Chains A and B, each alone.
Chain A
Amino acid sequence: MTARMVPHSRVDEFVARLMEAAEVIAPRRVEGGDVFYGPISSPAEVAWDYGTAVEPLKRLLVPQRETVLRFSVNEGIHVAAEMDERERVFLGVRCCDVTGVTVFDALYGGDIPDPYYMSRRQRSILIALTCQQPPNDTCFCVCCEAGPFLTKGYDQQWTSLPDGMLVEIGSDRGLTLARAHDDLLLPAEPDHLAARYRLAREAETKFSDFRSYIAAAMRKLTMNEVLPEVWEQAADRCLECGGCTFLCPTCSCFTVTDRWEGPQGLRERHWDACLFRCYAREASGHNPRAELGDRMHARFFHKISHQWAQRNGRQACVGCGRCVMTCLGWAHTPAVTEGIRRGVIP
């Protein structure tokens, strides 16, 4: 699919057109300077120069608390479900976060699709923004095939070049959108694409020494060769705060509760974390993973074993670095993968 170019002077105009047709979610600076993905009310709000958003797109596709069913009692029980049917464009999304969504597509799609996720996802256009500089020294997407530039997973991928914004097309949806605005999105020249590939190669060399040896960890996890001490060390460091799981673009565990709001009953699902002590506890009190080390093992096996990579289409770490930023105990993914590789967590 041919790439397009939008002159820098007309990018805002294109964003304004997107806003006419759909809710546009983009990186926005909030008070204090942090950047979150959220709905914008004007093209000027887009923080094009941002680093990493505090949170991935997860909350926007799977809210932390979501009503799954409404029920009421009136001569029998009545049950109903509602879907979120907003049309949305996710603009300026970092490559790691786009890749995170592709992992969610496998988890929430598959042979039994989750209708709440799919309803939002099918009405979403994902526009990636490439990283010409690693935004943080905690970034390691380069170890995870999740950036700094992508070759798949996006509807469109934008790269800022001196001449304008290069728009690569990654899907039929991305192509349809480009065609609908072909007065703005002009065909790109071969030089533009050459520049894009040069920038991608350069970007890959700019990452800090901070690395996550996912492949080595994957081999050991897959073959069950991880020393048990590694899980004990990880457990010693983990404070069970759940921060890494809630900020992770690919952590998707949830729990479900019922409650009443007057005569109206609600069934809601909430984010949960497999590292929490009661996560696997059964009604009888039996807890098959009472040990934190066992829960660590289960989490990392799900994230990066070959068994799960096969089921999800890829391993589930995208190298966004949020677990590194949030973990108070140095039990984040790069630390644990290094521990798996070396037999001791650094």
Chain B
Amino acid sequence: MKNPYLPELATIQRVKPETYDTTTFTLRLDDPQARAAFHHRPGQFIELSVFGIGEAPFCIASSAHGRDTFDISVRKVGRVTAALHDMREGGQVGIRGPLGNWFPFEEVEGKHILFVGGGIGLFPLRPQIQEVCRARDRFASITVLYGARTPRDLVYRDELEQWRHQEGMVCLLTVDVGEDGWTGRVGVVGSLLPEVRFDVSRGVAFVCGPPIMIRFVTQDLLNMGFAEDAIITTLERHMRCGIGKCNHCMIGDKWVCKDGPVFTYRQMKAMMEFEE
């Protein structure tokens, strides 16, 4: 029997600061066989061990296409993330996964694709944005709306710049609070939604951000006419095992780790009855 709690060792290849408190780590599994067997899809996550400190879940923040490494982007917020931020290239961590389900891709071909990200909610959306962009012809349109608290909180700046100027794609940014030098929009990310011009009956929205942002953006999308099944989000929860045993991430009749983390609004609606 394969032991799902046994991590594979991986080495940090690259450490790239995103903001004052977030960093992207590029990881590569040490064992060639494990590397060859590591097939992940946008939306999936891993459990990462900093040995002796603990284990925590992180979404895989990069498309699998054409590379034998993967990225995770991490905000320094707790014990494991703090210890990870102290690590450098060459440091060894443990990886279990890929875990969980993934964003629909083939299922949404031909549709207008809308991404709405708030803050570090852009992390899990990034691999899907990369994959959709790579197969641009298979989608009616691509729109990325991204908001952060302040300009200093914007992540993936290089890529945002690239998306903003990419042909056949709309990418709009906003910040809640402008600072000196910011000439862009100011307002919550939902304030960008009126810019959506496509036929929403053929639209699919991928949403991720803080709980309050998900709540308001989802409501806006429903009001715009998006179907409940066409609003797709990825949830984060306190998780220990990642395989539906420890129960920490349970909401209602779902384990976020195993039944999710990707859910449609229709599924989320039933789950929301269990929490404030």
In the complex formed, the residue of B with least CB distance to A114 is B245
Given A71-B51, A79-B7, A258-B53, A298–B274 Cβ distance below 8 Å?
Answer: yes
Which of A112, A118, A298 touches B244 (beta carbons < 8 Å)?
A112
In the complex formed, the residue of A with least CB distance to B240 is A256
Contact B247 A253 (CB under 8 A): yes
Given A256-B55, A256-B241, A301-B253, A69–B5 Cβ distance below 8 Å?
Answer: yes
Q: Chain B at the A interface: mostly helix, strand, loop or mixed?
A: loop
Shortest CB–CB separation between residue A220 and chain B, in angstroms?
A: 13
Contact B53 A255 (CB under 8 A): no
Given A79-B94, A260-B52, A307-B252, A302–B5 Cβ distance below 8 Å?
Answer: no
Contact B246 A255 (CB under 8 A): yes
CA distance A279 to B237 in the complex (A): 11
Contact A302 B245 (CB under 8 A): no
- B223, CB-defined interface residue at 8 Å: no
Residues of A within 8 Å of B6, CB to CB, are 69, 79, 81
Contact with A along B247-264 (1 / 0, CB 8 A): 111111100001000000
CA distance A311 to B251 in the complex (A): 14
- A308, CB-defined interface residue at 8 Å: yes
Contact with A along B108-141 (1 / 0, CB 8 A): 0000000000000000000000000000000000
In the complex formed, the residue of B with least CB distance to A118 is B1
Query: Which residues of B, 6-46, contact A by the 8 Å Cβ criterion?
Result: 6-7, 9
CA distance A48 to B248 in the complex (A): 38
**Range of interface residues on chain B?**
35 or more
CA distance A292 to B236 in the complex (A): 21
Contact B94 A77 (CB under 8 A): yes
Residues of B within 8 Å of A198, CB to CB, are none
Which of B4, B5, B258, B274 touches A301 (beta carbons < 8 Å)?
B274
Contact B5 A68 (CB under 8 A): yes
Residues of B within 8 Å of A279, CB to CB, are 238, 248
Shortest CB–CB separation between residue B250 and chain A, in angstroms?
A: 7
Contact B273 A254 (CB under 8 A): no
Contact B92 A253 (CB under 8 A): no
Contact B253 A274 (CB under 8 A): no
Selecting from A163-171, A233-241, A283-291, the interface stretch reads A283-291
- A113, CB-defined interface residue at 8 Å: yes
Residue ranges of A at the interface with B (Cβ–Cβ < 8 Å): 68-69, 71, 73, 76-77, 79, 81, 107-108, 110, 112-116, 118-119, 224, 252-260, 265, 267, 269, 272, 274, 279-284, 286, 288-291, 294, 297-298, 301-302, 305, 307-308, 311
Contact sample, A vs B, 20 pairs, CB 8 Å cutoff: A69-B7, A71-B52, A77-B51, A112-B258, A114-B245, A115-B3, A254-B240, A254-B247, A255-B246, A256-B54, A256-B240, A260-B52, A280-B238, A280-B248, A281-B238, A282-B237, A283-B80, A288-B276, A294-B274, A307-B253
Interface contacts beyond A252-B245, A284-B75, A298-B250: sample of 7 additional A-B pairs, CB < 8 Å, sorted by A:
A71-B51, A77-B94, A269-B246, A283-B81, A288-B211, A294-B276, A301-B252
